[in-house]
């Protein structure tokens, strides 16, 4: 049996993204541990997948500009 190089705890959005990135190294063995019956069934309150448009912010603020730019990029995916 091969040894495990990386263990990712949680198969939510972030856990799956980390696991996918870790598999890009040839020969690396990645194991994902999830408490639910399938992947992607939960999201932490910090990673809920909400796209913030910045509509409630002062339009010229950096936060509003970055929020709008991020929303455009996310929708282009």
Q: What is the pLDDT of residues 5-29, one digit of tens each?
A: 999 999 988 889 899 999 999 999 9
- The per-residue pLDDT for 1 is 55
Which residues are registered as beta bridge partners of 31? Answer: 7
Neighbours of 28 (CB within 10 A): 11
Give residues with Cβ within 8 angstroms of 36, minimum separation 6. Answer: 11, 42
- The position carrying tokens 């598999």 is 23
Q: Which of 12, 52, 53, 64 is the catalytic position?
A: 52
Whole-number pLDDT of residue 24: 93
Structure confidence at residue 69 (pLDDT): 86
Beta strand spans in 1-77 (E): 6-9, 30-33
Are 24 and 5 in contact, with CB atoms under 8 Å apart?
A: no
Residue 52 among the catalytic residues: yes
The two structure tokens encoding residue 7 = 């263990």
């Amino acid at each position: 049996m091969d040894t495990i190089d990386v263990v990712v705890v949680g198969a939510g959005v972030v856990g799956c993204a980390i696991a996918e990135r870790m598999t890009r190294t040839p020969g690396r063995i990645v194991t994902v541990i999830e408490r639910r019956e399938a992947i992607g069934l939960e999201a932490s309150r910090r990673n809920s997948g909400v796209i913030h448009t910045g509509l409630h912010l002062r339009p010229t603020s950096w936060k509003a500009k970055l929020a709008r730019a991020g929303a455009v990029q996310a929708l282009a995916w």
